[in-house]
Amino acid sequence: MNFPEELKYTKDHEWVRIEGDTITIGITSFAQQELGDIVYVEVETVDEEIGQGEVFGTVEAVKTVSDLFMPVSGTITSFNEALEASPEIINEDPYGKGWMIQATISDKSELDELISAAEYQELVG
Amino acid sequence: MTLKKVALNDIHEKLGAKMVPFAGYNMPVRYSSDKEEHLAVRNSVGIFDVSHMGEFMLEGPEALSLIQRVTSNDASKLEVGQAQYTCLPNEDGGIVDDLLVYKMAEEKYMLVVNASNIEKDWNWLTKYNTNGVKMENISDSMSLFAVQGPKATQALQSLTATNLDDIKFYTFVVGEFAGTPNVIISATGYTGAGGFEIYVDNQYAGQVWSAIMEAGQEQDIKPIGLGARDTLRLEMGFCLYGNDIDDTTSPHEAGLGWITKYTKEFTNWQNLKQQKEEGIKRKLVGFLMEDKGIPRQGYDIRNEAGETIGQVTSGTLSPLLNIGIGLGYVSKVYSKSETTIYIAVRNKILKAVVKKLPLI
């Protein structure tokens, strides 16, 4: 399975791309595979400040629904609206077109708690 | 508890299945994609390994009388070669399990029960077996493959001399299949897509599975996991024990009046008959979402005034309709087809409409 080196990860199976004060967040290839066909993504927290570990949305597969957790505290600036019509792009391209939200970081020190690709790889075996 | 493995566990792992614990067994939930597998069964043909299901053989002059006393349907109507859907009512108004009864020969029956209830059902039957019926639990030596879909007959015909078109719905033959003796070929299933269920001794399971996969190549047969099995049955509105029926739901509430026959006496029949005559208070209904959202087990069902009128017992996205569908119990007054109901999906109240089954 593919876990790009340049991204950071959480134990909740999210990836984080850090560009200055902005982060882009999605779910990992492992997560999308565990969930199966993703059929619905709901994010209604744009413009809200969400604390680290709090729920910013939900992702639904055919059989399951899972909460999405904020990897670090931040204000959500955008939701990938392409997911409304085509949630399956998360299955097809989890690190690219399947990104979920962008946010502005509130506290940069929290970034230290994210794990590397190698550490994440070890976590999911 | 250690997970039990079906005979073909390694084959499923080699096919790349995601394996999950289900009813104490390590089972394939998905090989490729729930949606693709679902549509393969609706449009063509797929094969499921459902060997976790339990099988009991009941034999002897009193076998029918035992079955009649514990099940709700009338097994005296069965001819040799016929199967019947039925349930085991408990003494308190609920259901111990739902099952199939096969009449194998005069005085010989096979009961096919849910994997999660094998022990419970065995103990239940043993308790009622006061007339010396010979009972044998063959669950651990029997494999079961469901070959389902409109092209099932085409896919399988080359494997047997039996004309599969002659096996009518809910009948079966025992014969040679894929070079294997004594295979039960049963025109039954849990998908509404047509097809067969193939019962075979574990020692021939690998041979039969491979033969089916090869014979079905032209129909593009696909292995199907439990995920799609659930979405397929839910589109049809078939009950799943543990979700839609359980120890507390009566057959009448669950819409299983058609398998509850008062032509004979059986467990709790007097109370159930009284319930039927007086009318039930709640009813299992199927519904389609009108607003965008997916119902899930345990979500509240509400009326327009916001009062809770029941709970969702099964829900999913229908891969065929591409909208949320579900089953749930509602107060009787809301059970009519086309009634608007509301599902509390997390923090939202979403509109849905009660529909006659099947939902597709």
Distance, in Å, from the CA atom of B287 to the CA atom of A100, rounded to the nearest integer, reads: 30
pLDDT tens for B13-70 read 999 999 999 999 999 999 999 999 999 999 999 999 999 999 999 999 999 999 999 9
Residues 220-259 on B with a CB inside 8 Å of A are 227, 230-231
Nearest CA in chain B to A40: B293
* Contact assignment for A36 to B33 by CB distance below 8 Å: yes
Q: How far is A123 from chain B (nearest CA, A)?
A: 18
Preferred mutation among A1, A29, A63 to probe B, highest tally of B CBs within 10 A: A63
Give SS3 for B293.
coil
CA distance A112 to A93: 26
Which percentage of chain A shows pLDDT scores above 90? 96
For B:128-187, CB contacts with A below 8 A are none
Report chain A residues whose CB lies below 8 A from the CB of B33: 36-37, 91
Q: What would the two tokens of residue B185 be?
A: 């070929």
Q: What is the ipTM of this complex?
A: 0.87
Q: What is the interface size between A and B, counted as CB pairs within 8 Å?
A: 37
Residue B231: which of A34, A40, A62 has the nearest Cβ? A62
pLDDT band for B280, please (50, 70, 90 cuts): very high
Burial state string for B46-57 with b = 16 or more CB within 10 A and e = fewer than 16:
bbbbbbbbbbbb
Our CA-based measurement puts residue B6 at a distance from the nearest CA of chain A, in whole angstroms, of 22
B292 Cβ under 8 Å from any chain A Cβ: yes
Buried b (16+ CB within 10 A) or exposed e, A44-58: ebbeeebeeeeebbb
Could you tell me if B37 lies within 8 Å of chain A, comparing CB atoms? no
Report, in angstroms and rounded to the nearest whole number, the Rg of chain B calculated over CA atoms: 20
A-chain residues within 8 Å CB-CB of B19?
none
Provide the Cα torsion B162, B165, B169, B172; round to 10°: 0
> What pLDDT does residue B311 have?
98
CB B226 within 8 A of CB B22: yes
Domains of chain B: 4-52+140-235 (3.30.1360.120), 281-360 (2.40.30.110)
In contact, B284 and B253? CB cutoff 8 Å:
yes
Q: At what angle do helices B226-236 and B34-43 cross, to 10 degrees?
A: 60
- Helix, coil or strand: residue B7: coil
Apex B230 CA angle, B205 and B19, nearest 5: 55
Q: What's the rounded Cα separation, in Å, for the pair B172 and B79?
A: 11
Q: Which residue has the higher pLDDT, B186 or A63?
A: B186
Report the distance separating Cα B306 and Cα A117, nearest Å. Answer: 47
Mean pLDDT of A99-115: 96
**Nearest beta carbon to residue A40 from set B30, B230, B294:** B294
Chain mean pLDDT for chain B: 97
Structure tokens at B119: 């022990």
Distance from CA of A42 to the nearest CA of B (A): 9
Which single residue is written with the structure tokens 């959202």? B293
Query: What is residue B359's DSSP assignment?
Result: -
pLDDT tens, residue by residue, A64-106:
999 999 999 999 999 999 999 999 999 999 999 999 999 999 9
Q: Where are the alpha helices (DSSP H) in B74-169?
A: 118-128, 152-156
CB contact under 8 A, B296 and A40: no
Average pLDDT on B207-225 reads 98
Nearest to B233 by CA among B85, B122, B348: B85
Classify residue A19 as exposed, middle or buried by CB count within 10 Å of its CB (0-12, 13-18, 19+). exposed
Both structure tokens of A67: 């909460």
Q: Is residue B34 within 8 angstroms of chain A, CB to CB?
A: yes
| DSSP symbol at B276 | H
Q: What value does the mean pLDDT take over residues B280-306?
A: 97
Q: How far is Cα A83 from Cα A97, in angstroms, rounded to an integer?
A: 9
Q: What is the pLDDT of residue A63?
A: 86
Which residues on chain B are in Cβ contact (under 8 Å) with A35? none
Closest CA to B330 of B349, B346, B343: B343
Position A70 scores a pLDDT of 97
* Distance of residue B221 Cα from the nearest chain A Cα, in angstroms: 20
Three-state DSSP at B1 gives coil
Selected for mutation to probe chain B from A62, A65, A90, A91 (highest B CB count within 10 Å) is: A62
Whole-number pLDDT of residue B1 = 65
Is the pLDDT confidence value at B2 over 90? no
Query: What pLDDT was estimated at residue A17?
Result: 98
Cβ neighbours of residue B179 under 8 Å, at least 6 residues apart?
A: B207, B211
Q: Taking CB atoms and an 8 Å cutoff, what residues of chain B touch A65?
A: 294, 296
- Closest chain A residue to B31, measured at CA: A36
Q: What is the mean pLDDT of residues B252-277?
A: 98
Chain B residue numbers touching A39 (CB-CB < 8 A): 294, 317
Count CB-CB contacts under 10 A for residue B275: 18
Interval B254-278 mean pLDDT: 98
Rounded to whole angstroms, the Cα distance separating A123 from A12 reads: 10
* DSSP state for residue B149 in the 8-state scheme: S
CB contact under 8 A, A39 and B293: no
CA distance B349 to B341: 10
Confidence at residue B215, expressed as pLDDT on a 0 to 100 scale: 98
